[in-house]
Amino acid sequence: VLSLKDKIVLITGASSGIGKAAAEQFAEIGANLILVARRAERLQELKSNLESAFGVKAHTVALDVQDIQKLERLVPELPPAFQEVAVLVNNAGLALGKAPAQDNDVADISVMLDTNCKAVAVLTKAVAKGMIARNMGHIINISSIAAADHYAGGSIYCGTKAFVTAFTDSLRHDLVGTNIRVTAISPGAVQTEFSNIRFKGNQDAADAVYSGIQPLTAEDIADQIVYAATRPPNVQIADIVSYATYQASGTNIARVL
Ligand code: 8X3
């Protein structure tokens, strides 16, 4: 396997869910981290926990990835010891609502497109430049089964994840012939804050998404991210698609427990 000890891993959406679990698992194998998220206090706490538990170094950047100007400044403003990003994990993303397309909230449309699509393209551009100059690196984009499993009420969210998968594939074409690897991770039902955010605090609606099944966990997906990142240099994982065991698609879920 490829050692990431002392290498730099940049993770967006690092303060919770899949991003936080990935930060923990990368720290466990000795990687240094750039932790990006909106919530500065949570980032600070994660930084000190990881530094003391694993003896790694973490740099935190509190920003909303929708803020394109701040996002573009992120890479040039990295401290010297954190400039050589070896792995970029574009993880920040969200769904808002499950309205039919004819009733989509226009503000929700913008937040999903800016966070899930635009930010991925902008940060990838910024980080890929340095990776190309060093001829090394790995870009891992968190997509979803929703990229391929489209469902009622998912017009924008499914559309954004189809974008992430298509963007990831195009990027692999753009970087072919370099040592940079490009991977999509496409999970099914993962129990995180995802559904609380989608249903805007309606806990019953959020719980119903995972009722009667054993959902995937953030740790399960972090494990896939670290797996992809630690393959030998000749192995490029294109996409890891995973469902919870009692799930066969975005909508075919057997609630048998
Ligand atoms: C989350 C999976 O099926 O709720 O990306 O869209 S789904």
pLDDT tens for each residue of 143-175: 999 999 999 999 999 999 999 999 999 999 999
Query: Which domains, from first to last, does the chain contain?
Result: 8-242 (3.40.50.720)
Two tokens, residue 148: 């391929």
Q: Is 147 in the pocket of ligand 1 (CB under 6 A)?
A: no
Pocket flag, ligand 1, residue 17 (CB < 6 Å)? no
Under a CB-based contact definition with an 8 Å cutoff, are residues 127 and 153 in contact? no
Dihedral of alpha carbons 251, 19, 97, 201, sign: positive
pLDDT digits (tens, 9 = 90+) for 198-231: 999 999 999 999 999 999 999 999 999 999 999 9
pLDDT band at residue 111 using 50, 70 and 90 as cut-offs: very high
Take atom 2 of ligand 1 and give the residue whose Cα is closest: 188
Ligand 1 atom closest to 149 (CA)? 3
Beta-bridged to residue 140, according to DSSP, are 89, 183
Report pLDDT for 19: 98
**Ligand 1, atom 3, residue with closest C-alpha:** 250
Give the residue-averaged pLDDT of 219-248: 98
Which pLDDT belongs to residue 157? Answer: 98
Q: How many angstroms separate the alpha carbon of residue 73 from the centre of ligand 1?
A: 31
Confidence of residue 44 (pLDDT cuts 50, 70, 90): very high
129 is catalytic: no
Tell whether ligand 1 has an atom less than 6 A from the beta carbon of residue 145: yes
Q: Identify the pLDDT of residue 94.
A: 98
CB distance 13 to ligand 1 below 6 Å? no
Residue-level pLDDT at 189 = 98
Question: What pLDDT, on the 0 to 100 scale, is given for residue 257?
Answer: 95
Distance CA 73, CA 118 (A): 15
Q: What is the Cβ-side half-sphere exposure of residue 11, based on CA atoms within 13 angstroms? A: 28
For residue 146 and ligand 1, the question of a CB distance below 6 A is answered with: yes
Read off the pLDDT band of 123 (50, 70, 90): very high
Catalytic status, residue 5: no
Query: Using 50, 70 and 90 to split pLDDT, how confident is the model at 4?
Result: very high
- Quick check: 85 and 31 in contact, CB under 8 A? no
What are the pLDDT digits (tens) for 47-106? Answer: 999 999 999 999 999 999 999 999 999 999 999 999 999 999 999 999 999 999 999 999
Percent over 70 (pLDDT), the chain: 100
Average pLDDT of the chain is: 98
Catalytic residue among 47, 157, 210, 243: 157
Ligand 1 pocket, residue 144 CB under 6 Å: yes
Whole-number Å distance, alpha carbon 255 to ligand 1 midpoint, is: 16
Q: Atom of ligand 1 at shortest distance to CA of 161?
A: 5
Q: Which residues contact 58 (CB under 8 A, 6 or more apart)?
A: 23, 27, 32, 33, 34, 35, 46, 47, 50, 51
ipTM over 0.85: yes
